[in-house]
Amino acid sequence: MSSHFQYREGALCVEQVPLADIAAQFGTPCYVYSRAALTDGYRQFSNALQGREHLICYAVKANSNLAILNVFARLGAGFDIVSGGELQRVLAAGGDAGKVVFSGVGKSVAEMRLALDAGILCFNVESAAELERLNEVAGSMGKVAPISLRVNPDVDAKTHPYISTGLKQNKFGVAYTEAVALYRKAATLPHLRITGVDCHIGSQLTETSPFIAAVEKVLALVDALAREGIRLEHIDLGGGLGIRYNDETPPAIADYVAALLGALAGRSEKLVLEPGRVLVGNAGALLTRVEYLKPGEEKNFAIVDAAMNDLMRPALYDAYHNILPVQRENHVSQSYEVVGPICETGDFIGHARELAIAPQSLLAVLSAGAYGMSMSSNYNTRPRAAEVMVDGASVHLVRERETVPQLFAGEKIIS
C-alpha cells in the first residue's frame, strides 16, 4: 500500500481525506488518485537520473486521465504513446509533442500524419513494412520522420505471458538478428532520420537481471551500428518496472535506475525511459460498496457494485489486488469471494479474502491506478466510474461518472 493511503483512527484515508467522504460525495464505484503519490514517483526517477541526460516518458496506456497527464507534464515528463488518441490526450493535457515517443505495431496512416503534424520526438518503428509506410507518409507531407527501431532482444522478462513483450514469439519489435539490416535500409530512405534505438521487454518485472540482459544486447547493437557509420542520439530502454500488489519485492526506483546507469557507464547517448505502472499503480484505488452478502455451501460471496468492466485485471490476468475495508468495523470476519454484478463467472475482484464487513460496507481495492480505468468498459451497459484526484486536503472530480443515455447516444434504430 502506498504511504499516501493510510488508516487514521480506523478510517482509510488518501492523503488528508477519508475515502468514506469521497464515496459519500461522488458515489461508487469510484477511482481515487493521490497527486502526492504521482509526484513522488516521478521525482524518484528524476532524482536518480540527475547528472545524466535523460527523458522520462510516462507510458500513457497505464492511465490516460487528463489530470494525471497534466501532473506529469508540469513535472517535465515526456510521454510514450501507442495510438493517435493517446497523442491527442497528451496535447489536450498540456504535454509537449517534442517529448513524445510513438510505439505500437499497427500505426495507421492517419496516426502517422497526426504525429508528424504535431512534431513528435520519435517513432518507435516495429516492422520493415512500417518503415516503408512511414517514409511514404512523411514524403507525402514534405517532412522527415525521426525514427528508432524497437528491437526485440529475445530476453525472458519472467512475467505474465500476456505482458511479456521481448521474446522472439511476441508480436512486438523487429528481430534482433535483423536489426542491423533494417537500420541500413532506414538510412537509405530519404524521409526518415535515424535518431535512436528502443527496447521494451515487458511489464510488472520484479528483478533487474532481465533489464540488464536487454541493455547488454542493445549496447552491442549500438556498437555494431556505429561501426557502419550509423550513430544514435538516444537509447530508449522502455519501462516495465513492477510494483508491489501482494508479496512481490520489486527493486526501488533508485536501485533500478542505478543498475541501468551502471550498465551504461561511459555512454554519451541520451537515456529515455518509459515508466507507466510504477508511477501510477499504487497512486490509485477503486472504491466500491458491498451490495449483498451471500452465504454458500462452499464459499461466501461479497457482491459489490464494482465489476470486471471497472477493473479488468483480475479477470484478465488472475491479478491480485489488496482489498481493505474503508472503515474498520466490528463485524464477524469471514472469508469471501469478492465479486461484481456482471453476468460472467469470471467477474471477480478477489478470491478468499478475510474481511469483517456487512451490506453497505465500503471497500478499497488498492494498487488500481494502472490499467484500471484505462482498460475499463461498458459491458452489461454499465457506465464507467467517476475519477477523483486528491491533493492534500482538496478533492477534485477529474472525470464525471458516465450516464446510461451517454452510452447509446450515438446509436440509431433503422426504419
> Going by CATH, does the domain composed of 5-33+281-407 fall within 2.40.50.140?
no
SS3 sequence, 312-360? Answer: CHHHHHCCCCCEEECECCCCCEEEEEEECCCCCCCCEEEEEEEEECCCC
Domain 104-273: which topology? TIM Barrel (3.20.20)
The grid coordinates of residue 62 equal 497505464
Strands 11-14 and 17-18: antiparallel
Helical (H) or strand (E) element with 382: none
- The strand pairing partners of 289, in sequence order, are 362
- Among 177, 176, 196, which residue's Cα sits nearest to residue 186? 196
50 Cβ contact partners less than 8 Å away, ≥ 6 residues apart: none
- Among 3, 25, 96, which residue's Cα sits nearest to residue 55? 96
Question: Do the annotations mark residue 275 as ligand-binding?
Answer: yes
Question: Do the annotations mark residue 274 as ligand-binding?
Answer: yes
Question: Do the annotations mark residue 317 as ligand-binding?
Answer: yes
Question: Do the annotations mark residue 313 as ligand-binding?
Answer: yes
* Per annotation, catalytic residue among 13, 30, 199, 343: 343
- Spell out the domain ranges in the chain: 5-33+281-407, 104-273
- The strand pairing partners of 141, in sequence order, are none
Say which DSSP state 302 is in.
E
Is there a catalytic annotation at residue 122?
no
Does residue 29 have a cis bond before it (omega within 30 degrees)? yes
Q: What pLDDT score was predicted for residue 53?
A: 97
pLDDT tens-digit map of 128-180:
999 999 999 999 999 999 999 999 987 766 554 544 444 555 677 899 999 99
Q: What pLDDT score was predicted for residue 161?
A: 57
Question: Do the annotations mark residue 162 as ligand-binding?
Answer: no
Question: Do the annotations mark residue 233 as ligand-binding?
Answer: no
Q: Residues in the chain with pLDDT < 50?
A: 160, 162-166
Question: Do the annotations mark residue 250 as ligand-binding?
Answer: no
- Among 142, 144, 141, 134, which residue's Cα sits nearest to residue 107? 134
Strands 5-8 and 333-339: unpaired
- Among 226, 227, 222, 229, which residue's Cα sits nearest to residue 271? 222
276 Cβ contact partners less than 8 Å away, ≥ 6 residues apart: 58, 59, 60, 61, 62, 63, 80, 203, 239, 370
Judge whether 232 and 224 are in contact, CB under 8 Å: no
Q: What pLDDT score was predicted for residue 155?
A: 79
Please state the pTM of the whole predicted model: 0.95
The counts of H helices and E strands in the chain are 12, 21
Q: What pLDDT score was predicted for residue 96?
A: 98
- Among 209, 349, 344, 361, which residue's Cα sits nearest to residue 292? 361
Question: Do the annotations mark residue 216 as ligand-binding?
Answer: no
Question: Do the annotations mark residue 277 as ligand-binding?
Answer: yes
- Tell me the one-letter amino acid at 48: A
State the greatest distance between any 2 C-alpha atoms of the chain, in Å, as a whole number: 72
Residue the block writes with cell 489486488: 321
Q: What pLDDT score was predicted for residue 229?
A: 96
